[in-house]
């Protein structure tokens, strides 16, 4: 398929985006997922955080960042002095990608084609929110917003410019911190990046 473009409303606001997202057939991921998971938070947020895809919990509950990665993100936001209810939180890809292992559904990283296919939804959210700063969390969000050659590990915490002229900062995905062998250090580095994001807003 040719991507999400033809399902993304050109008029209306976030309410319309949320109402139409579930109809998207821009890639094959809608077939096995329970639902598309829309971004959440005030449309006038100054900060937008972009993750990867909904996980198992998000797919079942229909909300972004409610599973283990979400708990880690909540903790890091709090440590950085950011109120989750003040930021717009979304994902680069709106449907859960997984592999079945018996009854378990194991997260799979979305493909380059799926990231490209879903980009029009993220682009529309950016148009509507017009955030002063985008926090790019992990390689999938970075690929969607900065292209395939950007390396999060090399450029985390640095200010970068988006194609639409907006300002962004990249960091790791919170699930990388959840899985870290050096949890305390990696949580600290993630919080440092979030603090750097706050400093860019001031
Ligand atoms: N990981 C993400 O990137 N987004 C979610 O909503 C949950 C986990
Ligand atoms: Fe559409 Fe994105 Fe879902 Fe693919 S993942 S069907 S492009 S909303």
Q: Return the number of other C-beta atoms located less than 10 Å from residue 199's C-beta.
A: 11
Average pLDDT over residues 106-121: 98
Task: Say how far apart CA 33 and CA 13 lie, in whole Å.
Answer: 25
Confidence of residue 110 (pLDDT cuts 50, 70, 90): very high
Q: Give the Å distance between the CA of 197 and the centre of ligand 2.
A: 28
Residue 1: pLDDT above 70? no
Task: Say how far apart CA 130 and CA 122 lie, in whole Å.
Answer: 11
Average pLDDT over residues 35-49: 98
DSSP code per residue over 70-110 = HHHHHHHHHHTT--GGGSEEEESS-B--EEEETTEEEE-PP
* Short-list 14, 8, 5, CA closest to 130: 14
What pLDDT shows up at residue 155? 97
User: What is this model's ipTM?
Assistant: 0.96
Task: Say how far apart CA 177 and CA 183 lie, in whole Å.
Answer: 6
Structural domain range at position 95: 4-201
Residue 40: pLDDT above 90? yes
On the CB side of 119, CA atoms within 13 Å amount to 17
What pLDDT shows up at residue 87? 98
Do residues 139 and 35 lie in contact, with contact meaning Cβ atoms separated by under 8 Å? Answer: no
Q: What percent of the chain has pLDDT over 90?
A: 99
Ligand nearest to the CA of 36: 2
- Which residue's CA is the closest to the ligand 1 atom numbered 7? 65
H runs (alpha helix) in the chain: 14-21, 56-61, 68-79, 112-129, 139-146, 152-155, 174-178, 183-201
Confidence of residue 152 (pLDDT cuts 50, 70, 90): very high
What pLDDT shows up at residue 109? 98
Per-residue DSSP letter, 162: -
- Which residue's CA is the closest to the ligand 2 atom numbered 3? 95
* Best residue among 54, 63, 66, 95 to mutate for probing ligand 1, ranked by most atoms within 8 Å of CB: 54
Domain total of the chain: 1
* Best residue among 51, 95, 108, 113 to mutate for probing ligand 2, ranked by most atoms within 8 Å of CB: 95
For residue 110 and ligand 1, the question of a CB distance below 6 A is answered with no
For residue 72 and ligand 1, the question of a CB distance below 6 A is answered with no
The tens digit of pLDDT for each residue in 13-26 reads 999 999 999 999 99
What pLDDT shows up at residue 67? 97
CATH number of the domain residue 152 falls in: 3.40.470.10
Residue 49: pLDDT above 70? yes
What pLDDT shows up at residue 2? 81
């Amino acid at each position: 398929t040719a991507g999400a473009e033809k399902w993304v409303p050109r008029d209306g606001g976030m309410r319309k985006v949320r109402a139409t997202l579930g109809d998207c057939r821009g890639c094959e991921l809608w077939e096995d997922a329970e639902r598309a998971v829309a971004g959440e938070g005030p449309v006038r947020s100054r900060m937008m955080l972009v993750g990867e895809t909904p996980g198992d919990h998000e797919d079942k509950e229909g909300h972004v960042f409610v599973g283990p990665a979400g708990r880690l993100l909540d903790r890091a936001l709090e440590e950085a002095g950011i109120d989750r209810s003040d930021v717009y939180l979304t994902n680069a890809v709106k449907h859960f990608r997984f592999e079945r292992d018996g009854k378990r559904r194991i997260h799979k990283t979305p493909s380059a084609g799926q990231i490209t296919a879903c980009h029009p939804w993220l682009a529309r959210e950016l148009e509507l929110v017009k955030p002063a700063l985008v926090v790019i969390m992990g390689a999938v969000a970075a690929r969607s917003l900065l292209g395939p050659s950007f390396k999060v590990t090399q450029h985390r915490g640095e200010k970068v410019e988006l194609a639409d002229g907006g300002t962004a900062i990249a960091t790791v995905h919170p699930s990388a911190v959840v899985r870290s062998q050096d949890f305390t250090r990696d949580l600290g580095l993630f919080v440092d990046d979030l603090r750097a994001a706050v400093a860019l807003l001031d």
